Structure 1
C-alpha cells in the first residue's frame, strides 16, 4: 500500500472505501506538544493491566488511563486537546483513552478496535505526544500490504469506523532505545443501558 502526500500536508493511508485512514503532522506546535506531554505524564492516574494471552495471564506492555469527555475531573489539557481535535474532525467525541509507552519495550500488538464499542460511522482520532513511534498498519486481506507510519509529536492519525474492518494497526517493540510517548485516543462510544 503506497501512501501519498497531499498539498494540505495530510497523508492518505487508506481510501474512503476501506478507511479512511489519514495522517496529519504538526497539528499543534512542538512546544505545545511537549507541554501537554509533561502535564499528562504528571497529572493523570496511570494504571497497569494484565490480560489473558496464549492461555496465560500477561502484563499489558504499556500504562493506560481513560476519561469520559464530560467527566468533571477531566484535566484541562485534555479539554484543550479535545477542542483542537474537534476543530480538525467533526465528530461528537465522548471518550478519551490514553496509552503511555514508557520506552522501546512497550508496545501494542496488531489489532483493530472492537466495532461494538464504537458508534457506527464515527472515526477514531489519535493525538501523539512525546517520542516518535512507528505504527504498522496492515491490510487484513491478501496481499496484506502494510504501511509503517512514523507518529510524530503533535500529529493526528484518523481512522474511519470502516477501517477497523479492513486493517489492523499496532505499535511494535523496538531494538533501539526510544523515549516515552503518550497516545491520546478520541472515540465516540455507544450509549449503554442506564446512560442518560
Structure 2
C-alpha cells in the first residue's frame, strides 16, 4: 500500500511501503518562518553527550523531544503533526527536534534504530529555517550518496523499509549557512514504549 500518495511528492527511493518521498513546498514561507521562530525560542533545547569509541563527545546539534499525546500548547507542533498526517498518515507517538546552529552542526550517516520503530510505519521530517543538504545512500558496496537540499517548509517521508536499505545524514559544511530545525515524527515500537516506562522516575 502506498502511504504517501500526493501529486506534489518527488520520489527519491521506491519500495513496497512508499519509499522515500519529498514535498519541497509542503508549508508556505510565512508559516514556515513563524514555526521556526516559535520552536527556536520556545522548545526545551538540550545539549547532549554520547560515547564514541574510547571517549565522550558532544552531540553536534541541540535536541528536544515531545510525545504527541502531550504536545505543549505554546508550540506549533500540533499543526505540524496535522500536516504530516495529511501527507503520510500514521499513529505518530513522538516528535524529535534537532537544531543545527551553523554548518558545523551535523548528523553522521545512519539509519534510525529499528528496534525503537514500529514496523511498517513511516518517519516524517519537517524542515524549517535555512536550507541544508541531506545525503541519502543505499547500503550496498559502491553506492553513491544522493544529495537532497531540504528547503524550509519541506517534508521528507521515509518508509520503515527504507531504514533497512538506505542511510541518511546531514554533513558539516564550510559554507556559511543559517540555523535550521528539523522536526521528526515517529511511531515508536511497543518495546521502546515499555523501556520508557521502565526508565520513568
Question: If the length of structure 1 is used for normalisation, what is the TM-score?
Answer: 0.91
How much has 1:17 moved relative to structure 2?
A: 4.6
Query: Residue 57 of structure 1 corresponds to which residue in structure 2?
Result: 56
Helix, strand or coil for the counterpart of 1:70? Answer: helix
Which residue number in structure 2 is paired with residue 154 of structure 1?
153
1:175 corresponds in structure 2 to 174
Q: Which residue of 2 aligns with 1:34?
A: 33
User: Could you say what secondary structure the match of 2:76 adopts?
Assistant: helix
Q: Which residue of 2 aligns with 1:138?
A: 137
Alignment size in residue pairs:
189
Give CA-to-partner distance per residue, 1:116-158, whole Å, 9 cap, x none: 0000000000000000000000111123132100000000001
Q: Give the 3 Å change call, closer, same or farther, for CA 17–55 of structure 1 in structure 2.
A: farther
Question: Which residue matches 2:84?
Answer: 85
* Structure-1 residue corresponding to 2:3: none
Change (3 A) 1:19 1:52: farther
Q: Matched residue of 1:113: which SS? A: coil
Structure 1 residue 80: Cα displacement: 1.1
Deviation per residue, 1:37-82 (Å, 9 max, x gap): 0000011110000111131111000000000001153544001111
Tell me the TM-score normalized by structure 2: 0.89
Deviation at 1:90, TM superposition (A): 1.1
Report the structure, 1 or 2, having the larger helix content.
Answer: 2
Structure 2, unpaired ranges of 5+: 1-5
Deviation at 1:190, TM superposition (A): 1.8
Q: 2:165 maps to what in 1?
A: 166
Question: Residues 120-135 of structure 1 correspond to what in structure 2 (within 5 A)?
Answer: 120-135=119-134
Q: Conserved in 1, the CA contact under 8 Å of 2:71 and 2:78?
A: no
* 8 Å contact kept, 1:67–1:74: no
Between 111-120 and 7-16, report the one with greater CA deviation: 7-16
Distance 1:22 1:84 in 2: 15
